[in-house]
Amino acid sequence: MELPLEMPERGFRPSTDSRVLTRWTRVRDGERTADLGCGIGNIAVQLAAQRNIEMHGFELQEELVRIARRNVQNNRALLRGSVEIHQWDVRRGAPQKRRGQFDRVLCNPPWHRKGSGRLSPDPIRAAATHELEGAIADFLRCAAQLLRPGGSAHFILIAGRHEELLQCASEAGLRVASIKEIHTRSLDAPPKWRLYRLRDKAYVHGCRRLAPLLIASAQ
């Protein structure tokens, strides 16, 4: 069951892909987990309600940080773990005092490159869908810096940017451990998104192709 969450008055809403990322990331009790670009804190709150974890959300936009902190407070009695929300720009890399501390990092980065596609007139939604305040490379580099040795990063991204993600992950010192394709029309049609599990450069076991998933999507 999803917990009740406050939303901005208009524009930004949690998307289907963020729900897929939450559902298919297996966190364990006692883990320290980060969510990069956490928005209103929906992933952080839902995961902390499921497991006794130490959850940290990182978000740049001040309005979303305020809403995320209220969502944590409003749901505190339902949480098994703890959640802390930080205002942070991933283009600066990871905060020095947080580097190498996390068992898992989750990220649902903006889908589209800056200057491509239709840009929403709402600034919050525009930053959520386009790389106005951080590109894939920035999120991957920040994730790599946050992870402890042996930790894993979980990203979901539109399928059309697959090669770009692979290149940026390699440049950040991350290796792809598994890929799961997410379809919204049929398993015979091209996937809409891919879920990636990434490990540090010590990982040597190659990439697993997981069974594809067909879901209904509102987007």
Domain boundaries, the chain: 16-214
pLDDT confidence tier of residue 115, bands split at 50, 70 and 90: low
- Calculate Rg over the CA atoms of the chain: 16
Q: Which fold has domain 16-214?
A: Rossmann fold (3.40.50)
- Distance of alpha carbon 201 from its chain centroid, rounded? 20
Beta-sheet pairing, 213-214 with 174-183: parallel
What are the DSSP calls for 16-68, one per residue?
Answer: HHHHHHHHH----TT-EEEEET-TTTHHHHHHHHHS--EEEEEE--HHHHHHH
Report yes or no: 86 and 95 within 8 Å, Cβ to Cβ. yes
**pLDDT single digits (tens) 48-99:** 999 999 999 999 999 999 999 999 999 999 999 999 999 999 999 999 999 9
Looking at residue 149, its amino acid is P
pTM for this predicted structure? 0.91
